[in-house]
Amino acid sequence: MTMSKLPNRIFIKLLLGFWLCSSLIIAIVGLLPLLQQSHDRAPLPHHLSKLLIKVADRVSVHLEDNSQTINTHRFKRLTHIRDINNKPVRFYIVDHQGRVINSHQVSRSLRRFMLMADEAERPMTHQFKSELIFGPYKFDAKGEQYSIYGRLADHHPRPWFFFFAENKLLTLSLAIMLSGLLCGLLAWHLGKPLRTLRLSADALAAGDLTSRVDQATINRKDEIGQLAYAFNSMADSIENMLQSQQRLISDISHELRTPLTRLQLALALARKKGQESAETERIGYEAEQLELMIAELLELSKVKLNAHESKLSLGLAEILGQVLDDADFEAEQQGKSLSINIDEEIKLPLYPRPLSRAIENLLRNAIRYANTHVEIKVSESITSIIIEIIDDGPGIENEQDLEAIFKPFYRPQSARERESGGWGLGLAIAEAAVTAHKGSIVAKNAISQGLNVTIVLPRA
């Protein structure tokens, strides 16, 4: 099946998720009153129907015998009956005008039941909170129609969910919380793999060519799984392309050394034969520069190709010892001072040679452009080691150059580079070495004067 023919599963998940969530909440809230009504209302049982008929016969005889007056006390005695459970039952006689003729106090529950019975047009029962009302049974007396209703003090246990039907504000609050929970689960289901994709993309952008999306995300049967698979394929292609590029640069650099060595040999033979001139001196100088540039290119390629080898847990001061001694000697030869502030107890996983070369390049660069003083200091936090190299030179005039100076062959048009004979590879090697440690390197102009290069290396 081609990609274009696959259904939009993310759209379907979102649609079904939110639709089912809202439908479920609406159905629960809407069905509660119907369930309550269905539970509370029921057809008139046979034993209650017999009670109504029995009382109706008594009342009918009484009404026939007392055509002029209604004896309330007599009505009470006639309607004093107990049900099959020996519970007292109270009856209400209603005339054709809807008036209760045997009681002056009519409860609100009875009035509600009379309306419900009129709507139902059949005898029925309805369970209120603390009483059961049933009826009506209609009978004729003295040429008029009467109705009789029964009222039984009774409390039947009700299903627990009817509590929500009687507490509408609480039910609404719980419905909102349930809806939020269901939507949150859906959002988590969709958001978790997207966060994994973002983290992998960030790692790849930061130079970690081994970063891939986990297999669980790839195995998803939706567009996110397809995207994860495409991302990993893209990352494989990028890693292979960059490694091929670095190998090509390394191979070319190696191959260039052969004709360069022959050129230097020919120059040495010419000088030996007394054929030295200004031109041969110039050729010799350029050959030396070309040799140094090829060495830098090989170093840059080596750092990038070996960026994923195993690290060694070593002391920072230990691996930088020789580099710091050489830098101190070079600064002294140029009449400048080097201040070193590194705690010998600091240890972290690192690649010794690339990091040493990075610090060496940064220190030599700082000593070259410093007026009188260079400082290297190391501080630490819970998660990282911070290395700062600060000089009191002219800094970099153009702020845009502060990020670009770490690119290969980039040389800013500033006071720091006008007299330089470099090729812009030293800082690129430093940046590649820091990236191999999954760290970061940033250059900024010092507050007073000079340049501050900060390296942040993770402890893990």
As annotated, the active-site residues are: 254
The residue type at 26: I
Handedness of CA 407, 409, 413, 419 (dihedral sign): positive
Could you list the beta-strand ranges (E) of 244-370: 312-315, 337-341, 347-350
The length of the chain, given as a count of residues: 460
> How far is residue 83's CA from residue 48's CA, in Å, rounded to a whole number?
8
What is the CA angle 349-409-301, rounded to 5? 40
Residues 378, 387: contact at Cβ < 8 Å? yes
Residues 134, 79: contact at Cβ < 8 Å? no
Helix (H) or strand (E) run with residue 374 in it: strand 373-380
> How far is residue 22's CA from residue 25's CA, in Å, rounded to a whole number?
5
Distance of CA 194 to the CA centre of its chain: 8
- 146 - beta bridge partners? 139
Which among 151, 154, 155, 153 has a CA at the least distance from the CA of 92? 151
> How far is residue 183's CA from residue 323's CA, in Å, rounded to a whole number?
58
Q: Count of CB atoms within 10 A of residue 358's CB?
A: 28
Strand order in the sheet with 440-445: 337-341, 373-380, 384-391, 451-458, 440-445
